Amino acid sequence: MELSKDPRSSFSHVITVVQADLDELGHVNNAVYLKFMEDTARAHSLHIGMGLPVMQSHGVVPVVRKYNITYHRSALLNDSLEIFTYTSANGIRAYRRFEIRFLDARLVVEADTEWVWVDPIRMRPKNPPNAVLEAFGLL
């Protein structure tokens, strides 16, 4: 997956781990990291003006096909994490790379995701229009 060098294709934000993010072992639950990534993808889309209603109006929405997640370290209550995402695309496929890091840059989780652009009514694969790709810096 070759990532775009356009600044619109990347995004990051900082979150703080709260009690609800923890599992019985006292660290962030694996499923919560997935939620962090999905929330970051959503925040990135909103940041560039491509929230779900806008993408629907362009006749496409992204649907996750595959996640590949590697866990490196545990995050604990009150830890601050920066979540980075980088995008690329090829036809009906879109790709996101995620890195979740402590603020000192130590890697906590990394993931590669594959998405498929689909028609929001028929839920069938569809090439995204140039306006969507341009918003994400992928043209």
The 10s digit of each residue's pLDDT in 36-92 is: 999 999 999 999 999 999 999 999 999 999 999 999 999 999 999 999 999 999 999
pLDDT at 3 over 70: no
Q: Model pTM?
A: 0.91
Q: Which two tokens stand for residue 31?
A: 């499923």
Q: 1-10, 11-20, 37-46, 96-105 — which is least confidently predicted?
A: 1-10
Reported confidence tier of residue 9, pLDDT bands at 50, 70, 90: confident
- Single out the residue of 30, 14, 21 nearest to residue 77, CA to CA: 21
Average pLDDT over residues 17-38: 97
Query: What CATH number labels 10-135?
Result: 3.10.129.10
- Single out the residue of 104, 10, 117, 98 nearest to residue 56, CA to CA: 117
- Single out the residue of 139, 132, 136 nearest to residue 56, CA to CA: 132
Q: Which two tokens stand for residue 138?
A: 């992928």
